[in-house]
Amino acid sequence: MNRTILTLLSLLFCTFCYSQQSENRTLYIVDSVAIYNDPGNDANIKKEELDSIVVITNADRIKSLGYEGKFEKLILIFTKAYKTRSSEAKKIPTTKSMVRVDGRWRLIDADTPYSGQFIDYFMNGKIQGEGTLKDGLLDGSRTVYYANGNKEYNNHYRNGLPHGESKEYFGNGALRQQGSFEDNKEVGLWQIYYSNGKPKLEVNHLKGKQVFQKDVGKFLILLEQSIDLFRKGDLKTSIQKLDEAEKLNQNQAELYFYRGTAKLESMEFEGAILDFDKALLLEPLYKEVLSNRAFARIRKHEFKDGRVLSKNKEMTIVTTKTDLTIPDDELQKICADLKAAYELGDDNKMVVDAITKYCN
């Protein structure tokens, strides 16, 4: 996972919810912004990003900061990014110090909606997003950033609704899709790309309807039918639908993801891996494919030489190995996929547990 997380901060935020409700009430203030809600994964701050931590328990000092009677301890955390921020930038408010009243943003304790520029930051002090509010609603350009500093998307708004040009990006900086809105409705031509820059799909929006090329429309119908069959547990027919879809369009990574996942559930591990390989050739940053390819390899070894306990048209039950040994070359592939998926944001428990079990 390659994350050097400051242990002290991890402990602080892990106890956040308890501290806010205990008798010895503690408030965390990061870069002059009070943290009233659990920040979740955003609490991760690398050691080299931290400037200082100040703990205040003096009642007079707490009173001078405006928290008398509300908290008995203040923990002030300052990042290096905040310390180098200009005084003018520090004056621009963040939505994290605002509340929404009747759908409109206003500064805490203000009686009217806020108008003007705002900038949001990650816990490490790096910019998370920026834009402009007019009477508490988004107006004009709004940009949101990934943690690595690349743009995630840039939209234009009018009266709080998307209106105008829209661009969305991958974490590597490549354009994901672009098009336009009119009063929150997609209009005209939308172009969708893979993270390697290759075109994926074009969609026209005419009079509120999506218009595809003939074969693309048929492909999407088959894909939707297959997903529905998968959810109902009919894996065989689900795979058959995707086989039909492949004859129409081999340029959609979702086809190979869903077919590979159905094969994984059907214990066709080699076939699943081949489909996941095809998906990643099209979209190298497809985190769910990376995770599932790793699990396909793990399951392949778990069930290798397993004894069949029962079998019918709908289900086969096979014993798994209790003394699982995975060859080093396979283990390297598994861990590379798991870690890549995690770095791309797939941090669900199965992925984290697998990294802990196989890759540490």
Would you list the DSSP string of 89-103? Answer: HHHS--GGGEEEETT
pLDDT in the model for residue 111: 95
The two structure tokens encoding residue 128: 């998370």
341-to-120, 274, 291, 300 alpha-carbon distances in Å = 26, 18, 6, 19
Alpha-helical regions (H) of the chain: 7-14, 16-21, 59-64, 80-83, 87-91, 214-231, 235-248, 253-265, 269-282, 287-302, 328-343, 349-358
Measure Cα distances from 23 to 18, 26, 300 in Å. 10, 9, 52
* The pLDDT value given to residue 24: 56
For residues 292 and 257, what is the distance between their CA atoms, to the nearest angstrom?
9
Rounded Cα gap, residues 288 and 260, in angstroms: 11
What is the C-alpha to C-alpha distance for residues 182 and 145, in angstroms, rounded to an integer?
Answer: 23
| Contacts (Cβ under 8 Å, ≥6 apart) of 82 | 31, 32, 51, 90, 121, 125
**How many C-beta atoms surround the C-beta of residue 46 within 10 A?**
13
Give me the architecture of the 215-358 domain, per CATH. Answer: Alpha Horseshoe (1.25)
Domain locations in the chain as residue ranges: 7-83, 87-211, 215-358
Main-chain phi, psi angles of 343, to 5 degrees: -65, -30
User: E-strand spans in 71-217?
Assistant: 73-79, 98-101, 104-107, 116-121, 127-134, 137-138, 140-145, 151-158, 161-169, 175-182, 185-193, 199-206, 209-211
CA pair distance 84, 252, nearest whole angstrom: 45
b/e per residue, 300-313, with b = 16+ CB within 10 A?
bbbeeeeeeeeeee
* Fold (topology level) of 87-211: Outer Surface Protein A; domain 3 (3.90.930)
Placement of tokens 């354009």 in the chain: 175
Q: Provide the whole-model pTM.
A: 0.82
Which pLDDT score, from 0 to 100, does residue 17 have? 43
**What does each of the 360 residues of the chain score in pLDDT, given as a tens digit?**
443 334 344 444 444 444 444 445 899 999 999 988 777 666 678 889 999 999 999 999 999 999 988 899 999 999 999 999 999 999 999 999 999 999 999 999 899 999 999 999 999 999 999 999 999 999 999 999 999 999 999 999 999 999 999 999 999 999 999 999 999 999 999 999 999 999 999 999 988 888 988 789 999 999 999 999 999 999 999 999 999 999 999 999 999 999 999 999 999 999 999 999 999 999 999 999 999 999 999 999 988 765 443 444 444 444 455 567 899 999 999 999 999 999 999 999 999 999 999 998
CB 98 within 8 A of CB 105: yes
**Rounded-to-integer distance, Cα 127 and Cα 212, Å:** 38
Residue type, 160: G
Distance, first Cα to last Cα, the chain? 10
pLDDT of residue 15: 43
Q: What is the pLDDT of residue 128?
A: 97
